[in-house]
Amino acid sequence: MKKPVITLLHIGYWLVYLLLLLLVLLCLQMGSNLSKRPPFLNWRFDVFLFAMTVVPALVGFYSFYSILFTNYLSKKKLLSFFIAVFLFSLTGAAVGSVCLTLLHWSKVGIGVFSEGLAGALPALIIMAIISFLNGIVGIVMKGFISWYGDIKLKEELTEKNHATELALVKSQLDPHFLFNTINNIDVLIEKDPSTASLYLNKLSHIMRFMLYETKTEKIPLQQELTYIEKYIELQKIRSANPQYVQYNTRISNPALLITPMLFIPFIENAFKHAPNIKEGKVINILIETTNNTLLFECDNIINPNQQLTEAYSGLGHGLIQKRLELLYPGKHTLRISNKDERYTVHLTIECA
């Protein structure tokens, strides 16, 4: 929700609150002798009433609004929340009492403790109730703003997912990858028909995954890993180096749900820019889980004469980062480095 709208909500609430306070004053006037001076025409009475009713209301509203909802209620810390409700209600009453005492010293109003603690207790209870009731309104307003913000975020996420999906389709159906893979399989058909058939099945599974399985918002991690394994196996056809790519996984929770196609843009990028070296390790990929934390690391040798682009097989760097921010806000860390002729991606995600 935009800040001007939120500001108008606050202004509107306090105008309604002051209007209700004015109605109370009018009721007091109607219930008193009409020959007497109306209460709201006595500025000392107005200041005293303002300090007793508005100051605790402000303290309760904004302490509940800014502190209790964010730090306790939204995090479901219910016991701490109820304790904080009690303490902040008392804080509103205490602040109101200080204001009334200062006014009393300035000869405005009767103060709070002029008749001792027994006489102050009813005023303290009233101000605590005022602080509590306005605090509840503050929590309701904050909850509404947060709920509306979540709706807008989901709408934005849907729009970004559509844009991402279009980019992914271009990436997934990369004509160069398909062309090279089909040519390699074609060569194998004469030399090793059984191996060619195996690779053709892998290519079929990859295309089925890319076209159908990625339509859902979440998939099991194991399903994503199966796709990555088949993709790497198909890429290995292009190189006679058995150590060209090192792919390792340490998965303790294969049923962990993740967004599909999170890692493949980085892996595609590694194969795209890695040189065709006949010996030694060129690409290293690691995926592991610790409880609900997912770690992805990918590094590859860079050809020093090749200029790296920011694109990841059709997915721009900015689009990948934006997608992660929308899907895992505050729950991911992405670090990319390019030094010592190695390109490294380090990504951690809290999936819970």
Alpha helices in 42-115, H assignment, sequence order: 43-63, 78-105
Task: State pLDDT tens for residues 327-347.
Answer: 888 899 999 988 888 889 999
Q: Is 271 exposed, middle or buried (0-12, 13-18, 19+ CB in 10 A)?
A: buried
Under the banding of pLDDT at 50, 70 and 90, the label for residue 349 is very high
| The pLDDT value given to residue 110 | 67
Task: Tokens 């390699």: give the residue.
Answer: 184
Q: What percent of the chain has pLDDT over 70?
A: 80
Contact 346, 334 (CB under 8 A): yes
Say what the pTM is.
0.50
SS3 call for 324: helix
pLDDT at 238: 75
**247 SS3 class:** strand
Q: Which two tokens stand for residue 268?
A: 């595609």
The winner for highest mean pLDDT among 36-45, 180-189, 221-230, 303-312 is 221-230
Would you say residue 207 has pLDDT above 70?
yes
What single DSSP character describes residue 214? G
Domain covering 173-350: architecture: 2-Layer Sandwich (3.30)
More confident residue, 142 or 318: 142
Q: What is the mean pLDDT of the chain?
A: 80
Question: Are 264 and 227 a contacting pair, CB within 8 Å?
Answer: yes
DSSP state at residue 345: E
Tokens standing for 243? 């150590």
- The one-letter amino acid code at 285 reads I
* Residue 352, burial from CB neighbour count under 10 angstroms (0-12, 13-18, 19+): exposed
> 312 falls in which pLDDT band (50, 70, 90)?
very low
pLDDT exceeding 90 applies to what percent of the chain? 19
pLDDT at position 76: 81
Domain boundaries, the chain: 3-153, 173-350
